[in-house]
């Protein structure tokens, strides 16, 4: 549940936006990309969102259908335009985003009375983002959906703090903590964890999230990898090396892979390792939604990484350099 829109990305990296003369058009919006990523693993997924009554809204529905994502819960606003997001691409870790969501994005105009609560309760995984809490009526709708879930199954809060959508970090933190009362999984980078629970230390942040009742806390640490803590203990997984092309979709790929691992019942280390490799795959591509990998592609990357580690121990140097591939480049970048 949450953002949807159209991403317009330069087809040539390293070019300032004012000089770009050719863009690729892609389906965008972080929770929408997570739904696409999950569908790539054969999972049945749907997204609760809203577009404008415009050609880009038509594109969104067509793209969702093409990716195998159910669009029955995608509403339409007669008065608001489908959002556009532009970016600049300066690998390996500089990807400025420019949001065109004024005066308001349709996905923030979803009201509690527009939700199918039976479907929300029935889903094996329900995924929401902090951005959905930044403005009414989306805030009330997001909280109503979480309350309806009652921590059934797996309920995930992507901590996804974006300063441009909030009046202050303190305002965001207060609403995040209300949402944490209703979720079983929380995932975010160190800055987002600090916004949510006031703690920037990885172990302390994970402990604080679990003190709010979260069963699984996932703390992304950029080039230091990922810390994940659940009822059985903690795991630390290093990042998978990748030659970064566009880091913006890596966090969404991580999220879709996390959903897949949780639904499959994998142990925590296997789940987080798989999610890391999925993020690496997308970080090495231009697109986000269109680049979401299959399980076979993720496993192939994991195998290549394991082989490279063996070569490195024997004195060889793998043809890759470490990149932040678990979620957000330099702890900050994720998808529009």
d(CA 14, CA 20) in angstroms, rounded, equals 10
What are 38-53's pLDDT values in tens digits? 999 999 999 999 999 9
pLDDT band at 311 (very low <50, low <70, confident <90, very high): low
Of 125, 149, 151, nearest to 46 by C-alpha is: 125
Confirm if 241 and 320 have CB atoms less than 8 A apart. Answer: yes
Q: Read off the tokens for 40.
A: 């790539």
Confirm if 245 and 322 have CB atoms less than 8 A apart. Answer: no
Q: Read off the tokens for 174.
A: 């207060």
The dihedral built from the CA positions of residue 242, 245, 246 and 252, taken in this order, carries a sign that is negative
Q: Helix or strand or coil: residue 85?
A: strand
DSSP characters for 168-221? -HHHHHHHHHHHHTT-SEEEEEHHHHHHHHS--SHHHHHHHHHHTT-SEEEEE-
pLDDT of residue 322: 28
d(CA 17, CA 284) in angstroms, rounded, equals 21
Q: How far apart are the first and last CA of the chain?
A: 14
Q: Read off the tokens for 265.
A: 């019942």
Q: What is the pTM of this model?
A: 0.91
pLDDT of residue 305: 81
pLDDT of residue 317: 28
pLDDT of residue 204: 98
Q: Is residue 170 over pLDDT 50?
A: yes
d(CA 221, CA 50) in angstroms, rounded, equals 32
pLDDT band at 330 (very low <50, low <70, confident <90, very high): very low
Q: What is the largest CA-CA distance in the chain?
A: 62
Average pLDDT value over all residues in the chain: 91
Beta carbons within 10 angstroms of residue 203's beta carbon? 14
What are 93-103's pLDDT values in tens digits? 899 999 999 99
Q: Is residue 29 over pLDDT 90?
A: yes
Please give the backbone phi and psi of residue 42, each rounded to the nearest 5 degrees, phi first. Answer: 85, 10
d(CA 298, CA 295) in angstroms, rounded, equals 5
What are 3-22's pLDDT values in tens digits? 999 999 999 999 999 999 99
Q: Is residue 319 over pLDDT 50?
A: no
H helical segments located in the chain: 30-40, 55-66, 117-122, 138-149, 169-180, 190-197, 202-211, 250-264, 268-283, 295-313
Residue with tokens 């580690």: 309
Q: Helix or strand or coil: residue 286?
A: coil
Of 84, 67, 64, nearest to 24 by C-alpha is: 84
Residue with tokens 């335009």: 81
Of 99, 157, 172, nearest to 126 by C-alpha is: 157
Query: What is the arithmetic mean of pLDDT over 296-317?
Result: 70
What is the percent of the chain where pLDDT is above 70?
92
Q: Starting at the earlier edge strand, list the strands of the sheet with 125-129.
A: 125-129, 154-158, 185-189, 216-220, 226-230, 233-237
What are 189-243's pLDDT values in tens digits? 999 999 999 999 999 999 999 999 999 999 999 888 999 999 999 999 998 888 9
Q: Is residue 335 over pLDDT 70?
A: no
pLDDT of residue 310: 67
The dihedral built from the CA positions of residue 242, 161, 51 and 127, taken in this order, carries a sign that is positive
What are 67-88's pLDDT values in tens digits? 999 999 999 999 999 999 999 9
Q: Is the peptide bond before 304 cis (omega within 30 degrees of 0)?
A: no
pLDDT of residue 124: 98
């Amino acid at each position: 549940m949450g953002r949807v829109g159209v991403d317009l990305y330069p087809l040539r990296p390293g070019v300032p936006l004012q000089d770009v003369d050719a863009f690729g058009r892609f389906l965008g919006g972080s929770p929408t990309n997570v739904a696409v990523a999950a569908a790539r693993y054969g999972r049945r997924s749907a997204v609760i969102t809203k577009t404008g009554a415009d050609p880009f809204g038509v594109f969104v529905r067509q793209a969702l259908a093409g990716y195998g994502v159910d669009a029955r819960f995608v509403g339409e606003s007669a008065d608001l335009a489908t959002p556009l997001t532009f970016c600049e691409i300066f690998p390996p870790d500089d990807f400025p985003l420019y949001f065109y969501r004024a005066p308001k994005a349709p996905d923030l105009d979803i009201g509690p009375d527009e939700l199918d609560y039976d479907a929300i309760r029935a889903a094996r995984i329900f995924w929401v983002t902090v951005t959905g809490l930044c403005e009414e009526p989306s805030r009330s709708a997001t909280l109503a959906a979480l309350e309806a879930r009652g921590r059934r199954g797996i309920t995930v809060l992507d901590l996804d703090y974006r300063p441009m959508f909030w009046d202050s970090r303190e305002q965001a933190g207060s609403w995040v903590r209300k949402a944490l009362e209703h979720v079983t999984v929380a995932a975010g980078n160190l800055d987002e964890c600090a916004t949510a629970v006031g703690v920037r230390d990885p172990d302390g942040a994970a402990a604080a999230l679990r003190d709010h009742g979260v069963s699984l806390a996932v703390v992304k640490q950029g080039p230091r990898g990922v810390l994940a803590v659940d009822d059985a203990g903690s795991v630390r997984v290093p990042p998978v090396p990748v030659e970064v092309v566009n880091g913006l979709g890596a966090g969404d790929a991580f999220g879709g892979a996390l959903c897949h691992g949780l639904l499959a019942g994998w142990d925590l280390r296997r789940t987080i390792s798989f999610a890391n490799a999925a993020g690496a795959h997308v970080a090495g591509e231009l697109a986000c939604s269109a680049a979401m990998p299959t399980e076979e592609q993720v496993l192939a990357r994991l195998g290549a990484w394991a082989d490279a580690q063996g070569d490195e121990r024997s004195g060889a140097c793998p043809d890759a350099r470490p990149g932040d591939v678990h979620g957000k480049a330099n702890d900050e970048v994720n998808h529009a």
